[in-house]
Amino acid sequence: MSEAAGQQRIWRKSTRSQSSGNGDCVEVACAHWRKSTRSSSTGNGDCVEARPTPAGFELRDSKLGSNSPIFALPTEDFTTLLGNLKTGASA
């Protein structure tokens, strides 16, 4: 996913990196969470967020924020889930 396509990445420094200021550190790019367009707009927090990963996608409940469990799905499973949600089919 490119930043030019509207997806900015967050770079996070490894907690194991040295703090000596010599630049020896490892950073990881993390994609932003995106809220579902079908999420409730009533302000009650009922929404699902997703973000791409190298292995597929991750999902979380946004009302729990960083305390939400994160569910990892391969791309094929995520695509199937979206298709079932759109058609109202059960898994």
What is the signed CA dihedral for 38, 46, 60, 13, rounded to 10 degrees?
100
pLDDT-derived band at 3 (thresholds 50, 70, 90) equals very low
User: In angstroms, rounded to a whole number, what is the distance separating the alpha carbons of residues 17 and 57?
Assistant: 27
What are 25-57's pLDDT values in tens digits? 665 566 788 887 766 666 666 688 898 888 899
**Given this model, what pLDDT does residue 5 score?**
41
Structure tokens at 59: 């999902």
